[in-house]
Amino acid sequence: MTGAPLIEVEDLRIDLDDGSRRVAAAEGISFRIDRGETFGLVGESGCGKSITALALIGLLRPPLSIGSGVIRFDGREIQHLSAAAQRSLRGNRIAMIFQEPMSALNPVSPVGRQIAEMFVLHKGKSWREANRLAVEALADVRVPAPERRVNDYPHQLSGGMRQRVMIAIALACGPDLLIADEPTTALDVTVQAEIIELMRNLCAERGTAILMISHDLGLVANVCRRVAVMYAGRIVEERGSADIFRDPSHPYTQGLVDSLPRLGSRAALGRSRLKEIAGVVPAITNFPDGCRFNPRCAHATDICRSIVPTADFLEAGGLVRCHHHA
């Protein structure tokens, strides 16, 4: 991995226009992903992780818009590209898969055609050639009997098979970056394992970087090399994925890691009361001043209630936004 990162986000702010005023749904978002790297964005619903992904792929629509900041893809700023330029980037070099494949697929079009369309639109192939490539793409995502399955409609496939089709569509044009937004949340655990392994292996083979978005810290830490944790519109901690579980630095991350019943912990340590994170996630229109976690934080002091913490580098590597981090 030499030189420039594949994608670099600098101080991105995403505005939500609620009719009378603009509020920042996400702000101060900065991170970079190298070529072929796996990077995770983790957080609860409403923390801004999905809209950050939509901003990268140029799919923010009113009332959401990019307020300020820079998104650099392969050295080029893309935050203000025209719709046409964005369209050619999307699908071709940046692709995305979503949580619910049934709603992301066209229900009245055979899945083979939906894959073939990628080759026709982005690669200028003939339909005949594109259909042949679609069969290959289905075989690549390990769909059995792909030459028959291309004629199936989405409702004829299981949830796992549909997500495989989504991956085939996303990877059809050999993108540099795959954004996976909760790709397995709707699936059972054994199917989740299949889909994750498929995605991980295909992207590793092809050198495709992954930006994985999930509420499941455990899953993201397993899949990704680095993880950023978001809370109430800001990244509060960014670490190597093993470090974030062993030695979380931000009180919110610590709370998350401690509050989850981990498989094997009862057998090893006995059953104790789970550590709770007090309070609730603040509403977007009502973010607290200073550090947004301060009303729920046991370590909060006056400075936390008034001044936004800066992102500090940690000796062990990584970043944390907390006035009182170790």
Query: What does 10-29 look like in DSSP terms, one character per residue?
Result: EEEEEEEE-SS-EEEEEEEE
191 is a contact residue toward another protein (CB under 8 A)? yes
Parallel, antiparallel or unpaired: strands 312-313 and 319-320 = antiparallel
225 is a contact residue toward another protein (CB under 8 A)? yes
- Residue nearer to another protein on the CB measure, 115 or 224: 224
Please report how close the Cβ of residue 192 comes to another protein at its closest, in angstroms.
Answer: 7
Give the H or E element holding residue 117.
Answer: helix 111-123
Q: Identify the residue among 79, 99, 114, 192 touching another protein (CB under 8 A).
A: 192
* Window 138 to 157, contacts with another protein (CB under 8 A): none
- How many CB atoms are closer than 10 A to CB 125? 16
Give the H or E element holding residue 72.
Answer: strand 64-73
Please report how close the Cβ of residue 308 comes to another protein at its closest, in angstroms.
Answer: 21
- Residue nearer to another protein on the CB measure, 39 or 73: 39
Q: Which residue, among 164, 121, 163, 171, has the nearest Cα to 146 in the 3D structure?
A: 164
Q: Are 166 and 105 in contact (CB under 8 A)?
A: yes
Residue 109 CA to residue 45 CA, distance in Å, equals 31
- Residue nearer to another protein on the CB measure, 67 or 282: 282
Per-residue x/- marks for another protein, 271-290, CB under 8 A? x-xxxxx--xx---------
Q: Identify the residue among 266, 303, 306, 316 touching another protein (CB under 8 A).
A: 266
318 is a contact residue toward another protein (CB under 8 A)? no
Q: Identify the residue among 30, 65, 86, 222 touching another protein (CB under 8 A).
A: 222
Residue 86 CA to residue 77 CA, distance in Å, equals 11
Q: Give me the sheet containing 234-240, strands edge to edge.
A: 94-97, 177-181, 209-214, 38-42, 226-231, 234-240, 319-320, 312-313
Q: Identify the residue among 150, 161, 180, 320 touching another protein (CB under 8 A).
A: 161
Please report how close the Cβ of residue 147 comes to another protein at its closest, in angstroms.
Answer: 19
- Residue nearer to another protein on the CB measure, 219 or 322: 219
262 is a contact residue toward another protein (CB under 8 A)? yes
Q: Identify the residue among 145, 193, 307, 316 touching another protein (CB under 8 A).
A: 193
Per-residue x/- marks for another protein, 230-249, CB under 8 A? -----------xx--xx---
- Residue nearer to another protein on the CB measure, 94 or 178: 178
Instruction: Kindly tell me the burial class for residue 134, based on how many C-beta atoms sit within 10 Å of its own C-beta (0-12, 13-18, 19 or more).
Output: buried
Please report how close the Cβ of residue 148 comes to another protein at its closest, in angstroms.
Answer: 16
Residues of 74-108 as b/e, b for ≥16 C-beta within 10 angstroms?
Answer: beeebbebeeeebeebbbbbbbbbbbebeebbeee
Written as six digits, the tokens of 28 are 């101060």
> Total residues contacting another protein (rule CB under 8 A)?
49
- Residue nearer to another protein on the CB measure, 82 or 272: 272
- How many CB atoms are closer than 10 A to CB 162? 22
* Window 288 to 307, contacts with another protein (CB under 8 A): 296
- How many CB atoms are closer than 10 A to CB 126? 11
Please report how close the Cβ of residue 271 comes to another protein at its closest, in angstroms.
Answer: 7
Written as six digits, the tokens of 104 are 């992301």
Question: Under the rule (CB under 8 A), what is the footprint of another protein?
Answer: 44-45, 158, 160-161, 188-194, 196-197, 200, 215-219, 221-223, 225, 241-242, 245-246, 252, 255-256, 259-267, 271, 273-277, 280-281, 296
